[in-house]
Amino acid sequence: MLRLLLAVAAAVASAAAMAGGPEMDDAKAMEGTWGFVSGEVGGVKLPDEVLKTMSLVLEDGKYTTKSPGPDDKGTVKIDPGKEPKAMDITGVEGPNKGRTFPAIYVLDGDTLKICYDLSGKARPTEFKSPPGTKHFLAVYRRKK
């Protein structure tokens, strides 16, 4: 379950490189390698030791999550015109193959904050991970 959660978190962080407009701006700004700063699922914080073993590579609208387990790969479609900004993550290879997760995001320089619903049912409306939910709140920092 933890591997799935971390893989999904990585998937959420990726952005689709779309032609023109704010989608392209955010997609390009998200490209690179990211490390976890923090993660929380249903109000429970993930251990730093686990988060330190993960990295996320975003490139050309695709993501790859590197971890001690199998890599997770997929695509992300972003909609920066919504408030909060929205994204849909779709796994194409690995533990999330065939699953789509609705999410929200905010990009602030070298920090990316994402909250998404691991149940795949409804897009979160706030950057919170309340107990009893399947909301995953992740904060990433760009690796230099």
| Pair 42, 130: CB distance under 8 Å | yes
- Residue spans per domain, the chain: 2-142
* CA neighbor of 71 nearest in space, from 88, 49, 93: 93
Digit-coded pLDDT (tens) for 35-84? 999 999 999 999 999 999 988 888 888 888 888 889 999 998 999 999 99
Query: Is residue 99's pLDDT more than 90?
Result: yes
Query: Is residue 122's pLDDT more than 50?
Result: yes
Global pTM value = 0.83
Domain 2-142 has CATH 2.40.128.280: yes
Which of the 8 DSSP states describes residue 114?
Answer: E
Which of the 8 DSSP states describes residue 46?
Answer: P
- Region 111-118: mean pLDDT is 94
CA distances for 14 relative to 21, 36, 47, 87, 131, angstroms: 17, 13, 22, 9, 26
**Neighbouring-strand partners of residue 73:** 64, 93
- Give the strand pairing for 85-93 and 55-59: unpaired
- The predicted structure's pLDDT at residue 23: 62
Which of the 8 DSSP states describes residue 132?
Answer: T
* CA neighbor of 124 nearest in space, from 75, 74, 72, 89: 89
Q: Residue 22 in 3-state DSSP?
A: helix
